[in-house]
Amino acid sequence: METRFLETFLAVVQHGSLAEASRRLGVTPAAVAQRIQALEDEIGLPLLARSGRRVKPTEAGLAILEKSRRVLSEVRQLKGLAHDDQAFGELRLGAISTALTGLLPHALRRVFDTTPGVDIFLLPGTSAELYNSVLEEKIDAAILVKPPFPIPKTLHWELIRSEPFVLLAPPDLANIPADTLLREQPFIRYDRSNWGGRLADTYLQSQRILPREWLELDSLEAISVMVEAGLGVSLMPDWRSSLFDNLRVARLSLRNAPCREIGLLRPRNVPSARLIQAILDAIRL
């Protein structure tokens, strides 16, 4: 049995779609279907069934799901042991959107340039989604916002950067106090379902500020562009990216500003520890 068949099966189950699995794996939908068919032929039972537009595991598929994850984990561990003196192998890394556009691009370029034999799969998502993926061992590690609850002892958290919240405003409003802008200007809220958005909401409550809300978005990139267009102000972490550093916006400091802590979360005993460390070292250069 080829491990890529199991990898493809897990990708289809995770994303609920052969097309999405093909996009994530970088192969054609026909290749995904062929791998699933080969796996089903070898096991002798159907493993996937369609439910509307989604694909779900059958009872047989559910029966082999966790074991398949363990087999792939053990294969990655064997590869790591064979290359014990260097970072090597495959890493399934999750990342929030601002890490994908800010922290990771140059770091990954350095890793690929200096470390041969590396294969990295990136999974975008919210911090809550990525936290659950790490906890369920669907991915090896994730760069996310620090959870607003105690982290289990089975997981290791390493801080990468701390981002103080600022008030993002159009440049022509830069000379007006931040508290005044928050009370008088249309407010574009950082989605409270995100852990970072909860920090912003807690700050507003602590300052007894009731903003004039009209939008609530889960993308800091989208919020930044809205502010640049003069559509309002926003409370957000002072994140940086080459794509957005040239935005025509003012970043105003806040009294007693909270901080969004960005770090890497991983299981304590993960086979790809050396590769994870190589990425952290590259981020900090």
By percentage, how much of the chain surpasses pLDDT 90?
Answer: 54
Tokens of 27: 């192969």
Tokens of 163: 């981002």
Q: Give the chain's count of helices (H) and strands (E).
A: 11, 11
pLDDT, tens digit, for every residue of 136-152? 888 899 999 999 999 99
Decide which of 3.30.360.10, 3.20.20.150, 3.40.50.300, 3.40.190.10 is the CATH code for 162-260: 3.40.190.10
pLDDT of 209 strictly over 90: yes
The residue ranking higher by pLDDT, 273 or 161, is: 161
Q: Which residue has the tokens 């199991």?
A: 6
User: Is pLDDT above 90 for 217?
Assistant: yes
Domains of the chain by residue range: 1-70, 162-260
Q: State the pairing for strand pair 259-267/141-145.
A: antiparallel
Residue with tokens 């590869």: 79
Interatomic CA distance for residues 65 and 58, integer angstroms: 10
Structure tokens of 52? 């509307």
Which of 272, 270, 277, 267 has its CA nearest to residue 135?
Answer: 267
Give dist(CA 206, CA 20) in Å, integer: 43
CATH number for the domain formed by residue range(s) 1-70:
1.10.10.10
Which of 68-72, 74-78, 207-211, 238-242 is modeled with the greatest confidence? 207-211
Kindly report which listed range (58-67, 120-129, 141-150, 199-208) carries the lowest average pLDDT score: 58-67
Dump pLDDT digits (tens) for 7-50: 888 888 888 888 888 887 888 889 999 999 999 998 898 999 88
